[in-house]
Every structure is written in structure tokens, then in C-alpha cells.
């Protein structure tokens, strides 16, 4: 429950809604509780009226008495309606303040969470599943909101109703009150237990549901093998087994959930029986009136939900507490890459000089080095290629430059300064990064390109699209640059998506342009043209190209060949071919492949 | 509108059809519901008798019996409504189980071309969450709707039997209750839809930005994206607040209407009491009926909502069930104990899909070859030349468009699928492991394969060594963290798997990924051991395999271009020569250098 205390500042922030809200709750409850009193008065008056009416039977007065009684009873009826109208009005106001406040808090919490998520670095995202983050920002926040809004509202209302009702009942008859409340008192406990077990069993059900899903997932992912070994029957049996288990979990939940209604029916019913039974005796003894029985029956009905609410609220608070713990787990996470005390804010622009000094990197202690002892220097306006097999450490090298990760040993200098001392925003502003992963937002192509720079003009977007060899293709689409990109870029071909990510980097006019295998999905001709555009920009930026294709990088100033994290060869295309090592071998293979492809 | 209704009814009929096997239970549940619906309104009636006949006249003797009867009714109602709530779920879950297994079986039977076209995620949704939506209808839906309707009838009947004037007065309020409920449902349904839309927007923004957080950060877009998020969050809030507004109006309105009914009952009841037509007990009973009336009305409108939700899911499920793309199976069975293993491809044309203009996108164009019994054949070719396709066709994962594939002189379409695949062993490039133990992954729960067979097979391919080093040996769970197997070990497992199943023909797609020399040699030995005495067809990536082969088939762009032994083909100096240089020469050099260093 400690984590719930951390939410208190939200109550303070919205006290303007909570204070009147709780006041409305109380007023509404008090008016609701007044209804039975009027009913008692009415019920009690009826036999009296009846006797009176009979006494005047046959007299002239009887007629006017009839109308007298008629109007009195109508007024009773109208008072009941009036009371419930006032109670209803305040219950409307109560929801419009307390629940609205809880929605405001939900809004604030979600903004805070997202804001914090934007600050967290790659290491957090590497160890946290996307689904997990989303759960925290949706259902966990909702659980917390239920505590802030409904739970507090219900418990206030419940408290007022129960106190007022019990006091009124005690004044009428302590004995009858005792009997009437006996069954009701177990209601709160019973409801708490049912809510508790329903929650527990729903979680068990959810786990089995996940199990069932992964069973289907596995069969379908391995469908070739399933068919090859004619394993359909065993798979079906396994699925049936999981389904049976799911069914029994479901029925296990049903066994608890089925108790909801009977608990209410039996508890409330027993209270009524007690009221009639014990009350009946008391009426004949003359301690209470018959109207009191009607009154008590309504009280019992009125108190049912508030008492049940106590049980629910405790269960809600348990869940909210667990949820807010999960939310604060994220909020308490400190970003491990950010500006620090040594950050030199006088730097506002970079020239694009990159120098690695004996840089080594590994993801964690005990793991093998992803990059070992790499040194090189790239002058402003120069170009550099990185080649090597899959897993050679090319992407790691790139991620070090944009400071997505930091060197384990050695240091990286940009314009002669340690990368760690430069403001993160300046570094990232100066870099145009085209990642291997073709991530696009589900927005228009134009907006995806403009993502690279805030407030880009139409002309700039066109220019960037042109240089990425995208403009011509896109203009053929019916909506041009306004054509939407489906979720994660599905409606674009791989090559088109890739060129969009290139345009997104180019529009920034970066001082350092980095392309991580960014031409893999475009055909050879387009690639040549893109490279030509880039060459025209030569001198404006330093360029680092990671590639599998020798043909696209052979003109660059220097080429680094990485193998298992180490820099094994370094030089120009000619010198490396001469050297006849790994690079020369790759080069030969690619020439052969091209020859084979050409055979019809 | 009309056709839509008709469609719904047909759908509903089909859904209810799944309840037919349990119709006796459904009838029983229905009777129980009827009884519960009767017992609820019975209680105020009993209380009325207690008040009018015993309390008011002061005759307490009979009260005890009546109260005991009331407790009895209460106990029965409680017990029955518990049994009933559970029982309807039980029936629904039985039916749901049937539907689920049926969908699963159906999906599993589809041919591979179906799987090529349908994303797995969609199929998973069909077998899980869409089926789940049906559960609401099958379990509670029908029975509960009936129960609520009867409850309304019973309450009305009791009211009329007590006093028809008051009954009419109470019923006067009913239309307002109905109106308010309908008004609320209509508004709230639209609002729920809007809220769901906003929640989905929020989720997809989150999903997208958490996935692409690196891009957001690298491009320094935090502020802009924060503003966008706030806007979406705000719209979500607005939608929620509107829903809150409707709720804030609805619940007080219900209370007011119920109280109005009480007010009217007291007024008219009190006035009629003057003529002696109404007693205090009747008044008190009506006060209770006024409150009881509302519950079934609200339940009914909720039930109709879930019913609509289930319809959408049902439609998607039936779409899958009605669309059968499993391969046609012949009835005629060929009684054979084992295959000889002679394979003939006779002018085989095959396309996975059509071009946009409808013409087939041929992957194989008139491929013909013959493999005699016991021969080892290697297929070579560049990526995309159609090598793996040949293997898939032999396993009959797909049916060909033109030509014939013969096994022992018989068209493979005349074999029972199960038998065909049973006699052909497949080793795939990336080895798929099922969750479960090592032993289970070798035996695949196939009948007749004992643990001894498993161990023998593992030993024969040399997998027993690494298995012995695992903490739990053959019982080791392959998916457990920390026990992940290396690529080479997975390969050995798949050889053990195929050996344990002792097929007559072996088809093998060699792994391309590089493995260390020691494992390479182990796999080589395992391969030779597995090929012994079987006809084999191997998509070759290793030099040793093509050297070992009796015949090499050279595929290029869907055509069988060359055929012969390694030496013949090298001597011919054609396509094979280039391929050999590209894919195998390096291995030869590495092998040579390894020899040199060893020497």
C-alpha cells in the first residue's frame, strides 16, 4: 500500500474537484437515506387514515376527508420523488467531479510516463518488452485510476449511508437493527473474498490463455515439420489438452463468479426475513410500527451496495497498489545515457570530425566483446566504409558514434572532444542516421521525411525525396507525398521504405551522415543514382556507410574491414584488393554472383 | 437493414447449432432458470402474507412456519442461482471447446499455400480470441436472456395477482425505465465505440513510439512527439469524460424512476386502502417489486450488446471454416509396407502464386529427372533457383500445376498424405524445435518410437555426447533458458529425429550457416550414417555432400540446366563450374588450409 501513498500529490493537485466532489457524495447519500423515513411515515399514516375515514363513514365530512387524505398522500409521494431528485442531482455532480478528476489524473500520469519513456536509453528498451511498457501505460494506469476515482467515491458514499442508516435504525429499535445487520455484516467479507478469488483465478485463466496461444503459435510456426512428420494428430491432442485445461480454469473461475448473485440474494433476503420476523414480534408488542418494517426493508436494500462496495474497494486497492508499483518502477528508472556535469554546453555545432581511440565494447561484463580495440579517424567531409560478415560489429560501431551505447574501453572524439562531454542534443542534431531497421511511423510519406527536421518546407521534403531517388516513385502514387505508410511501413515495398528513411536523414542536412546497410533493398541502378546524389554533397558532411555490397563502397576514402569485432583490414579499395585478404575474397565472390545472375 | 437482420439470424442459428450436442443440458438449464425467475418475485409475496395475515392481526403462530418457508425459498433460490450460473458456463465451455478444437483441426489441415498467404497472427486470433467472443453467447447468452424475460413476466404476474390497480401504476413507470435504458445504451454504445477507438489510437501510438523510440531520440523529436501524444491522450480523455457524463445521468435517473414508482404506489395504494382494497402488506410488497423490476431490464440490454460483439467473431470463424484449402485426398489406398524409393519428376511446372496479371509466376519450368532406388542425389543452384521447392513438392506440401511426380511409378497424389510423409524423412535448413524434452523432439510422440529407439538414433548420429552433458540429459527442456542449443547441435538432433523415424526416402535441406570444423565433421558422419540404404535428395551447401552424391542436378532460374557427377560437370565447364567456384571453392580452400596446418 506504500506505493499508493505516492499518488497523494495528485489528490492535492485536484483538490478543487475532490473537495466539492466528496461533499456532493455526502449530500447525495443523506438525501437518499431520507426516502425510507418518508415511506415509513406514509405507511404508518395509511391505517390511521383508514380508521379515521371509517369513523366518518356516512357523514358529509367523509368526502372532504377523502380529498384531504388524497392530497396528503400525494404530497408524501411527491416528497419521495423530490428527495430522490435532489439525491440524483448530487449523485450526478458527484460523478462529474470525482470521476472527472480521476480521468484528469489518468491523463497526467500517462503524460508523465510517456515523457519519461522518451528519456530512457536503449538499455532499458533492450531489457523491457514493448508489450510490457504498453500494459503499464494502459491497464496499470486504469487500475490506479479506479482507486483514485470510483474506489474513493464508493467508499465515501458507503460510509455516509451506512453510518446515517445505522444511526437511524438504532434510534428506532436496537434489537431489530442488530438482527437486520447480522446477515449484512458478512456481505462485505464475502464480497471481498469473491473479488479476491475472481482476480486470482482470472490471472490463472489469463496465464492458461497465453499457454494456449503459444501452443497454437508453435504448431503453426512449425507447420512444415508438423506436416512432414504427419504429426497433426499429436498436435491436435496437445491442443486438446491445453484447451481442456483452459476450460477447467474457466470453470474454476465460473465457480467463484457464480457466487456473486447468490451472496446478494441470500444475504439481503435473510436480512429481510429477520426484519419481518423479529420486526413482526416487535410490532405486535407495540415497540415499533408497521411502517418501520417497510422502512427497514428499504434500508437493507440501500445498504446492500455500500457494504458490498467495502469489499470491492479493498480488492481494487490491492490491484491499484500492485499497478502503481509497476508504473513507478518505470518512472524511477534513470536514463543511463544523458547529459551530465561535464557536459560542455558551449558546443552548439559540430564539424564532423570522428576519431576512435582503442575503442572496445561489450554489452555486459562476462559477455564477449562486440568490438575490440578499434581505432580510426575520419576528417570532416571525408567518407568511410565499414564491411564485414554478419555479427562482425558493424552496427555496434555505428551505435557508438550516435551514442546509443558507450565504449567499455577507449574513447571516441568528435571534433577533438570526448563524445561523452558533448550535449546529447547537439550530437543527435548533427547526425543523419539511416538504421538497418526500416522503421517508419504510420503517417504520410511526406511527414515521415519531414520527421527529420522540425518545420520542413514542402520544397525541402521534395528535395530530400529527390536525392533519395524516392520522388519519382512517390509522385506516381495517387496521393503523392501525402500517401499513407501503413503500420510499420507495410504498404511500401522494402526499397521504397528504405529510400524514405534515407530521405528522412538527408533532409536534416547532417554534418555526419551514417547509413547502416541502408541500400540493401534498392536495386543496383537506384543505388548508383543515390550514391551520385550523395557524391554531389561531398564536403558538406562526413559520411559513414555500412554495406554488404562492395560495388557501392569501393569509391570511398577509406574502408574498414571488421571480423569478429576486430579491425582486420583498413585501406582503400585498391590497396585492400592488392592485400588479397577477407575484403578481396568478398569482392571476388560478388563478381561471380553478378556473373551468375547475368546467365539466362 | 432487412438482409442484415436475416444474416444475423442465420449466424445466430449456426452458433446455437454448436449447443445441439448438449440440448438436454440446455433444456435442464432452462428449467432451472425458470424456477429461479419464479422464486425471486415469490419472496415479496410471502412477506405480504406474513404482514397482512400475521403481523397486523397479531397472530404470530403462523409466522414461524411462513418465515421458515421464506428461508427455504431463499436457500433454494441462492443454491439454484449458483448452480445455474455455473451450469450455463459449463454448457458454454463444452461447446466452446468443440468449436476451438474444430477450428484448430481445420486450420492445421490446410495446405501450405494457405499458410504462405495467411499471417500466423490472424490464425491465432481465430482460434483464441474470436472463439472467446462466442463463449459469451453460448454460455450465458440464450439461457440468461430467456430467464430475464420470464422474470419480468413473473414479477408482472405477481403484481397483478396482488392488486391490478397498483400493478398498472407500477407498469406506468416501466416505459420510462425502458426509454432511459435505451437512451443510455444508444448513447453509451456510440461512446464506447469512440472510446475504444481512442484507446486503440493511444495503444498504437505507444506501440509505435516504444518500438521506434531510438528513431525519436536520434532525430531529437522528443518535444514534438510529446505534443502529439498529449493531443491523443487528451482526445482519449474527452471520449472518456463523455462516457462518464452519460453514466452520471443514467444511474441517478434509474433511482429517480424507481422512487417515482414507489411514490405513486404509496399515493394510489394509500387512497385505495381507504376502501379496504389494499393492505399494508401489499404496499410493502409493491415497494420491493418496484426495485426488482429494473434488474432484468438492464441485464437484457447488456446481453444484446454481447450478442452483437460475438456475431463479429463468429463471422470471422465461419469464414475460416467455410474456406477449405486442404489438399484433395484420394480414397483409394495403396497397400504398401515400404517404398522402394524411385522418384520421377516428369515435366513439372509449379508456381507459388500468380503475377498481378493472373499468369503464374513459375518457380519450376518443366523440370524432369529420375532418381533410382538407393541413389544419393544433390541439388545445387543459386538462391531462388527452385531447389527447396523440389523438396516441398516431393513432400506434397503443394500440388503442382503441370506434369507428374511419381513415387515407385505411382502419382504421389494417389498416396495417403499421412503415409507419404511418414515414409519420406525431411531435414530442414533451420531446425524447428518444439517445446518439451530432447527425447520428445526426437520421437515427436510418434507411435512405436521408444526411448531406446531415441537413444540409439542419437548415438548413431553422435548426438549422444552433447545430450549426455546437459543437466537433465534426454529429459532436458529445449526451450528452457540457458539450455539453448547451438546450430550444430540442433542439426544433429534433426538427424537423430529422422533416423528414429526410419524413412525410405530422405530429403534434406542443408544448413547454410557456418559451423565450426569439429561439428562440421560430426554432421558429415551423421549424414553419411543417415543416408545409408535410402534414396536421398539433398539441397547441397557443403562440398563434401556434392562429392558424395551419385548425381548432381544443377538448377538455374527454375530450369534443370545440367545433370551428372561432380567430375563430369566440372569437366563440362558450364554453369556448375561457376556455382562451384562461388559456393564450394572456398570450403575446399579452407579444408586444404586446415589440412596444411594439421600436417
Q: How far is CA B279 from CA A33, A558, B50, in A?
A: 25, 105, 12
For B88-119, how does the pLDDT look when each residue is reduced to its tens digit (9 = 90+)?
A: 889 888 988 999 999 999 988 888 888 877 77
Q: Best of B58, B70, B127 to disrupt the A interface by mutation (most A CBs within 10 Å)?
A: B127
Contact A39 B266 (CB under 8 A): yes
Quote the minimal CA–CA distance from B263 to chain A in Å.
4
Confidence grade of residue A244 (pLDDT, cut at 50, 70, 90)? very high
Q: Which three cell numbers stand for residue B470?
A: 546437459
Residue A347: inside a domain, yes or no?
A: no
Which of A461-465, A491-495, B55-59 is predicted least confidently? Answer: A491-495
Domain ranges within chain B, ordered by starting residue:
1-162+296-322, 164-277, 379-396+417-598
For A330-342, how does the pLDDT look when each residue is reduced to its tens digit (9 = 90+)?
A: 999 888 888 888 8
Listed residues A161, A186, A216: the one ending a domain: A161
Alpha-carbon span B63 to B163, nearest angstrom: 23
Per the rule left: phi > 0, alpha: psi between -120 and 50, beta: everything else, A159 is alpha
Quote the minimal CA–CA distance from B18 to chain A in Å.
16
Q: Which three cell numbers stand for residue A537?
A: 554533397
What integer best gives the mean pLDDT of chain B?
A: 83
**CATH class of the domain at B1-162+296-322:** mainly alpha
The more confident residue out of B408 and B188 is B408
Closest by CA to B271, choosing from A58, A36, A42, A291, is: A42
Q: Which residue of A has its CA nearest to B105?
A: A236
Alpha-carbon span B545 to B508, nearest angstrom: 11
Quote the minimal CA–CA distance from B473 to chain A in Å.
23
User: Nearest by CB to A255, which of B86, B210, B215?
Assistant: B86
Contact B263 A431 (CB under 8 A): no
Alpha-carbon span A535 to A554, nearest angstrom: 13
Residue A472: inside a domain, yes or no?
A: no
Q: Which residue of B has its CA nearest to A449?
A: B219
| Angle, alpha carbons B594-B595-B598 (nearest 5°) | 85
Alpha-carbon span B395 to B426, nearest angstrom: 8
SS3 A361: strand
Q: Give me the residues of A, 168-227, that contact B with CB < 8 A.
A: 209, 212-213, 216-227
Handedness of CA B66, B69, B75, B76 (dihedral sign): negative
Show residues of chain A in contact with B43, CB under 8 Å: 269, 272
The more confident residue out of B311 and A31 is A31
Q: Torsions phi, psi of B345, nearest 5?
A: -100, 120
The more confident residue out of B136 and B82 is B82
Quote the minimal CA–CA distance from B2 to chain A in Å.
35
Q: Which residue of A has its CA nearest to B259?
A: A81
The answer to whether A67 and A60 have CB atoms below 8 angstroms apart is no
Contact A230 B218 (CB under 8 A): no
Which H or E run contains B427? strand B424-427
Give the pLDDT score at B588: 64
Alpha-carbon span A237 to A248, nearest angstrom: 16
Q: How large is the ipTM?
A: 0.81
Contact B89 A250 (CB under 8 A): yes
* pLDDT above 80 for B593: no
- For B365-376, letters b (16+ CB in 10 Å) and e give bebebebeeebb
Q: Best of B33, B40, B78, B122 to disrupt the A interface by mutation (most A CBs within 10 Å)?
A: B78
Please enumerate in sequence order all residues whose Cβ is within 8 A of that of A214, keeping only pairs 6 or more positions apart, or say none.
Answer: none
User: Nearest by CB to B82, which of A53, A220, A259?
Assistant: A259
Quote the minimal CA–CA distance from B58 to chain A in Å.
5
Give the pLDDT score at B481: 44
For A498-543, how does the pLDDT look when each residue is reduced to its tens digit (9 = 90+)?
A: 899 999 999 988 999 999 888 887 877 888 889 889 888 878 889 9
Q: How far is CA B262 from CA A77, A294, B153, in A?
A: 7, 12, 20
Closest by CA to A138, choosing from B210, B132, B189, B194, is: B210
Listed residues A142, A161, A180: the one ending a domain: A161
Q: How far is CA A475 from CA A466, A553, B366, in A?
A: 11, 29, 41
Alpha-helical segments (H) within A95-151? 100-119, 122-127, 130-135, 141-146
First CA to last CA across chain A, in angstroms? 73
Alpha-carbon span B329 to B410, nearest angstrom: 15
Quick count: other Cβ atoms within 10 Å of Cβ B179? 12
- Between A and B, how many residue pairs show a Cβ–Cβ distance under 8 A? 371
* pLDDT above 70 for B586: no
Contact A47 B280 (CB under 8 A): yes
User: Nearest by CB to B418, which of A230, A235, A273?
Assistant: A230
Quote the minimal CA–CA distance from B238 to chain A in Å.
9
CA A198 to chain centroid, in Å, comes to 24
The answer to whether B570 and B577 have CB atoms below 8 angstroms apart is yes
Q: Does A56 touch chain B (CB under 8 A)?
A: no
Q: Which three cell numbers stand for residue A505?
A: 536523414
Q: How far is CA B547 from CA B342, B565, B566, in A?
A: 22, 8, 6
Contact A258 B82 (CB under 8 A): yes
User: Nearest by CB to A262, which of B82, B262, B264?
Assistant: B82
Give the pLDDT score at A97: 93
DSSP state at residue B533: T
Listed residues A125, A142, A161: the one ending a domain: A161
User: Nearest by CB to B444, which of A76, A229, A265?
Assistant: A229
Contact A229 B501 (CB under 8 A): yes
Alpha-carbon span A416 to A405, nearest angstrom: 19
Alpha-carbon span B298 to B294, nearest angstrom: 6
- Please name every residue paired with B508 in a beta bridge, in sequence order, or none if there are none: B427, B538
Quote the minimal CA–CA distance from B128 to chain A in Å.
7
Q: Which residue of B has its CA nearest to A286?
A: B58
Residue A412: inside a domain, yes or no?
A: yes
Mean pLDDT of B569-584: 82
SS3 A563: strand
Quote the minimal CA–CA distance from B431 to chain A in Å.
9
Please enumerate in sequence order all residues whose Cβ is within 8 A of that of A71, keeping only pairs 6 or more positions apart, or say none.
Answer: none
Alpha-carbon span A161 to B317, nearest angstrom: 49
Residue A28: inside a domain, yes or no?
A: yes
Q: Does A297 touch chain B (CB under 8 A)?
A: yes
DSSP state at residue A362: -
Show residues of chain A in contact with B575, CB under 8 Å: 596, 599
Alpha-carbon span B273 to B270, nearest angstrom: 5
* pLDDT above 90 for A384: yes
DSSP state string for B186-230 = HHHHHHHHHHHHHHHHHHHHHHHHHHTHHHHHHTT-HHHHHHHHH
Q: Give me the number of domains chain A comprises.
A: 2
Q: Give me the residues of A, 321-360, that contact B with CB < 8 A.
A: none
Closest by CA to A195, choosing from A316, A83, A113, is: A316
Q: Which CATH architecture has domain B379-396+417-598?
A: 3-Layer(aba) Sandwich (3.40)
* pLDDT above 60 for A312: yes
Show residues of chain B in contact with A230, CB under 8 Å: 417-419, 421-422
Give the pLDDT score at B390: 92
- Cβ-count burial of B132 within 10 angstroms (0-12 exposed, 13-18 middle, 19+ buried)? middle
Handedness of CA A15, A19, A20, A26 (dihedral sign): positive
Please enumerate in sequence order all residues whose Cβ is within 8 A of that of A356, keeping only pairs 6 or more positions apart, or say none.
Answer: A374, A375, A376, A377, A397, A400, A410, A412
- For B394-429, letters b (16+ CB in 10 Å) and e give bbbbbebeebebebbeeebbebebeebbbbbbbbbe
pTM above 0.90, yes or no: no
Q: How far is CA B356 from CA A420, B361, B369, in A?
A: 53, 9, 31
Contact A431 B218 (CB under 8 A): yes
Q: How far is CA B410 from CA A149, B348, B414, B454, B479, in A?
A: 74, 15, 7, 32, 41
Q: Which residue of A has its CA nearest to B256?
A: A84
Which H or E run contains B504? none
Which H or E run contains A418? strand A417-418
Give the pLDDT score at A286: 86
Looking at chain B, the whole-number percentage of residues with pLDDT higher than 70 is: 91
Residue A467: inside a domain, yes or no?
A: no
User: Nearest by CB to A96, which of B248, B283, B424?
Assistant: B248
Query: Domain range spanning residue A542?
Result: 354-437+512-598
* pLDDT above 60 for A487: no
Residue the block writes with cell 358529509? A60
CATH classification of the domain holding A134: 1.20.1560.10
Residue the block writes with cell 460483439? B309
Residue the block writes with cell 455526502? A26
CATH classification of the domain holding A425: 3.40.50.300
First CA to last CA across chain B, in angstroms? 86
Show residues of chain A in contact with B127, CB under 8 Å: 216
Contact A50 B276 (CB under 8 A): yes
Show residues of chain A in contact with B74, CB under 8 Å: 265-266, 269-270, 273
CA A429 to chain centroid, in Å, comes to 29
Which of A94-108, A273-287, B288-302, B424-438 is predicted least confidently? Answer: B288-302
Contact B93 A50 (CB under 8 A): no
* pLDDT above 50 for B4: no
Confidence grade of residue A488 (pLDDT, cut at 50, 70, 90)? very low
Give the pLDDT score at B487: 74
Contact B112 A223 (CB under 8 A): yes
Closest by CA to A249, choosing from A194, A196, A217, A211, is: A211
Q: Does A118 touch chain B (CB under 8 A)?
A: yes
Amino acid at each position: 500500500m506504500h506505493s499508493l501513498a505516492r499518488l497523494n500529490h495528485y489528490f492535492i493537485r485536484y483538490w478543487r474537484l475532490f473537495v466539492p466532489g466528496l461533499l456532493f457524495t455526502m449530500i447525495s447519500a443523506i438525501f437518499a437515506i431520507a426516502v425510507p423515513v418518508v415511506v415509513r411515515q406514509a405507511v404508518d399514516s395509511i391505517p390511521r387514515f383508514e380508521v379515521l375515514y371509517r369513523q366518518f363513514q356516512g357523514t358529509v365530512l367523509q368526502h372532504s376527508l377523502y380529498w384531504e387524505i388524497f392530497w396528503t398522500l400525494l404530497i408524501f409521494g411527491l416528497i419521495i420523488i423530490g428527495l430522490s431528485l435532489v439525491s440524483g442531482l448530487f449523485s450526478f455532480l458527484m460523478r462529474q467531479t470525482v470521476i472527472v478528476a480521476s480521468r484528469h489524473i489518468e491523463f497526467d500520469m500517462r503524460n508523465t510516463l510517456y515523457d519519461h519513456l522518451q528519456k530512457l536509453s536503449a538499455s532499458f528498451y533492450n531489457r523491457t518488452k514493448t508489450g510490457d511498457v504498453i500494459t503499464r501505460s494502459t491497464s496499470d494506469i486504469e487500475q490506479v485510476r479506479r482507486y483514485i476515482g470510483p474506489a474513493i467515491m464508493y467508499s465515501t458514499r458507503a460510509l455516509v449511508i451506512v453510518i446515517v442508516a445505522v444511526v437511524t435504525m438504532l434510534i428506532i429499535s436496537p434489537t431489530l437493527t442488530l438482527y437486520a445487520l447480522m446477515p449484512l455484516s458478512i456481505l462485505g467479507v464475502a464480497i471481498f473474498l469473491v473479488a479476491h478469488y475472481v482476480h486470482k483465478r482470472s490471472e490463472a485463466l489469463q496465464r492458461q490463455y497465453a499457454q494456449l496461444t503459444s501452443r497454437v503459435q508453435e504448431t503453426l510456426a512449425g507447420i512444415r515439420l508438423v506436416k512432414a512428420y504427419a504429426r497433426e494428430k499429436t498436435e491436435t491432442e496437445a491442443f486438446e489438452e491445453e484447451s481442456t485445461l483452459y476450460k477447467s480454469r474457466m470453470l474454476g473461475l465460473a465457480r467463484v463468479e457464480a457466487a456473486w448473485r447468490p451472496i446478494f440474494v441470500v444475504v439481503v433476503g435473510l436480512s429481510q426475513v429477520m426484519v419481518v420476523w423479529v420486526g413482526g414480534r416487535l410490532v405486535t408488542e407495540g415497540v415499533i410500527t408497521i411502517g418501520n418494517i417497510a422502512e427497514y426493508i428499504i434500508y437493507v436494500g440501500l445498504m446492500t451496495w455500500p457494504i458490498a462496495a467495502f469489499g470491492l474497494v479493498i480488492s481494487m486497492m490491492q490491484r491499484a497498489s500492485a499497478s502503481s508499483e509497476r508504473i513507478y518502477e518505470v518512472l524511477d528508472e534513470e536514463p543511463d545515457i544523458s547529459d551530465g556535469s561535464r557536459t560542455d554546453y558551449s558546443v552548439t555545432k559540430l564539424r564532423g570530425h570522428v576519431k576512435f581511440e582503442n575503442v572496445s565494447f561489450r554489452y555486459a561484463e562476462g559477455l564477449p566483446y562486440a568490438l575490440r580495440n578499434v581505432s580510426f579517424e575520419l576528417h570532416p567531409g571525408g567518407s568511410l566504409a565499414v564491411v564485414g560478415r554478419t555479427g562482425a560489429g558493424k552496427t555496434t560501431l555505428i551505435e557508438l558514434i550516435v551514442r546509443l551505447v558507450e565504449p567499455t574501453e577507449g574513447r571516441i572524439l568528435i571534433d577533438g572532444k570526448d563524445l561523452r562531454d558533448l550535449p546529447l542534443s547537439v550530437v543527435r542534431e548533427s547526425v543523419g542516421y539511416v538504421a538497418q531497421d526500416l522503421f517508419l511511423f504510420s503517417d504520410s510519406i511526406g511527414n515521415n521525411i519531414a520527421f527529420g527536421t522540425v518545420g520542413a518546407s514542402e520544397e525541402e521534403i521534395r528535395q530530400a525525396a529527390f536525392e533519395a531517388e524516392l520522388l519519382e516513385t512517390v509522385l506516381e502514387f495517387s496521393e503523392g507525398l501525402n500517401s499513407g505508410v501503413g503500420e510499420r511501413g507495410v504498404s511500401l515495398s522494402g526499397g521504397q521504405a528504405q529510400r524514405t528513411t534515407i530521405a528522412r536523414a538527408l533532409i536534416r542536412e547532417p554534418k555526419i551522415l551514417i547509413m547502416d546497410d541502408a541500400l540493401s533493398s534498392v536495386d543496383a541502378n537506384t543505388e548508383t543514382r543515390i550514391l551520385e546524389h550523395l557524391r554531389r554533397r561531398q564536403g558538406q558532411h562526413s559520411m559513414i556507410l555500412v554495406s554488404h555490397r562492395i560495388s557501392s563502397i569501393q569509391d570511398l576514402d577509406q574502408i574498414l574491414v571488421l571480423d569478429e569485432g576486430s579491425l582486420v583490414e583498413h585501406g582503400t579499395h585498391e590497396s585492400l584488393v592488392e592485400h588479397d585478404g577477407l575484403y578481396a575474397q568478398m569482392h571476388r565472390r560478388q563478381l561471380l554472383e553478378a556473373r551468375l545472375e547475368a546467365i539466362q | 437493414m432487412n438482409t442484415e437482420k436475416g444474416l444475423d439470424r442465420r449466424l445466430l442459428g449456426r452458433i446455437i447449432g454448436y449447443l445441439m450436442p448438449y440440448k438436454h443440458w440446455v433444456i435442464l438449464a432452462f428449467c432451472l432458470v425458470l424456477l429461479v425467475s419464479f422464486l425471486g418475485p415469490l419472496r415479496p409475496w410471502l412477506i405480504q402474507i406474513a404482514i397482512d395475515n400475521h403481523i397486523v392481526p397479531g397472530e404470530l403462530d403462523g409466522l414461524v412456519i411462513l418465515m421458515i418457508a421464506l428461508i427455504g425459498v431463499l436457500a433454494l433460490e441462492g443454491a439454484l442461482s449458483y448452480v445455474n450460473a455455473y451450469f450455463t458456463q459449463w454448457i458454454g465451455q463444452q461447446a466452446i471447446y468443440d468449436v476451438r478444437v474444430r477450428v484448430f483441426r481445420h486450420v492445421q489441415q490446410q495446405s501450405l499455400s494457405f499458410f504462405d498467404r495467411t499471417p500466423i497472427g490472424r490464425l491465432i486470433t481465430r482460434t483464441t480470441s474470436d472463439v472467446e467472443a462466442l463463449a459469451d453467447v453460448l454460455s450465458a447468452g440464450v439461457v440468461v436472456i430467456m430467464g430475464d424475460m420470464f422474470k419480468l413476466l413473473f414479477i408482472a404476474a405477481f403484481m397483478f395477482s396482488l392488486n391490478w390497480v397498483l400493478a398498472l401504476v407500477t407498469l406506468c413507470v416501466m416505459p420510462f425505465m425502458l426509454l432511459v435504458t435505451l437512451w443510455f445504451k444508444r448513447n453509451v454504445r456510440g461512446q464506447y465505440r469512440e472510446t475504444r477507438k481512442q484507446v486503440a489510437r493511444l495503444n498504437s501510438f505507444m506501440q509505435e513510439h516504444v518500438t521506434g523510440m531510438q528513431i525519436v531520440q536520434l532525430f531529437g523529436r522528443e518535444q514534438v512527439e510529446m505534443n502529439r501524444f498529449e493531443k491523443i491522450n487528451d482526445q482519449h480523455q474527452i471520449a472518456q469524460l463523455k462516457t462518464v457524463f452519460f453514466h452520471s445521468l443514467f444511474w441517478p435517473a434509474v433511482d429517480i424512476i424507481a422512487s417515482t414508482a414507489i411514490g405513486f404506489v404509496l399515493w394510489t395504494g394509500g387512497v385505495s386502502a381507504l376502501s379496504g382494497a389494499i393492505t399494508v402488506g401489499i404496499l410493502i410488497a409493491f415497494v420491493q417489486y418496484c426495485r426488482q423490476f429494473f434488474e432484468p431490464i438492464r441485464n437484457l440490454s447488456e446481453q444484446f450488446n454481447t450478442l452483437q460483439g460475438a456475431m463479429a467473431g463468429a463471422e470471422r470463424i465461419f469464414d475460416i471454416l467455410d474456406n477449405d484449402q486442404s489438399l484433395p485426398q484420394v480414397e483409394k489406398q495403396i497397400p504398401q509396407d515400404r517404398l522402394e524409393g524411385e522418384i520421377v519428376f516428369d515435366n513439372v511446372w509449379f508456381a507459388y502464386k500468380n503475377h498481378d496479371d493472373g499468369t503464374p509466376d513459375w518457380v519450376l519450368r518443366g523440370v524432369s529427372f529420375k532418381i533410382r532406388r538407393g541413389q544419393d542425389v544433390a541439388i545445387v543452384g543459386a538462391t531462388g533457383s527452385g531447389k527447396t521447392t523440389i523438396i516441398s513438392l516431393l513432400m506434397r506440401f503443394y500440388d503442382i500445376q503441370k506434369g507428374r511426380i511419381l513415387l515407385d511409378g505411382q502419382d504421389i497424389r494417389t498416396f495417403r498424405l499421412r503415409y507419404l510423409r511418414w515414409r519420406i524423412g525431411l531435414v530442414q535448413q533451420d531446425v524447428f524445435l518444439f517445446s518439451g524434452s530432447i527425447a520428445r523432439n526426437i520421437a515427436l510422440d510418434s507411435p512405436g518410437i521408444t526411448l531406446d529407439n531415441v537413444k540409439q538414433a542419437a548415438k548413431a548420429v553422435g548426438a549422444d555426447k552433447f545430450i549426455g552433458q546437459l543437466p537433465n540429459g534426454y529429459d532436458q527442456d529445449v526451450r528452457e533458458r540457458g539450455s539453448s542449443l547451438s546450430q550444430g547441435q540442433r542439426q544433429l538432433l534433426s538427424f537423430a529425429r529422422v533416423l528414429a523415424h526410419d524413412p525410405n526416402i530422405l530429403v534434406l535441406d542443408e544448413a547454410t550457416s557456418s559451423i565450426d570444423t569439429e561439428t562440421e565433421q560430426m554432421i558429415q558422419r551423421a549424414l553419411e550414417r543417415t543416408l545409408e540404404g535410402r534414396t536421398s535428395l539433398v539441397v547441397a551447401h557443403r562440398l563434401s555432400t556434392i562429392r558424395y552424391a551419385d548425381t548432381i542436378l544443377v538448377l538455374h532460374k527454375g530450369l534443370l540446366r545440367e545433370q551428372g557427377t561432380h567430375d563430369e560437370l566440372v569437366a563440362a565447364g558450364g554453369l556448375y563450374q561457376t556455382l562451384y567456384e562461388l559456393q564450394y571453392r572456398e570450403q575446399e580452400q579452407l579444408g586444404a588450409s586446415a589440412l596444411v596446418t594439421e600436417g
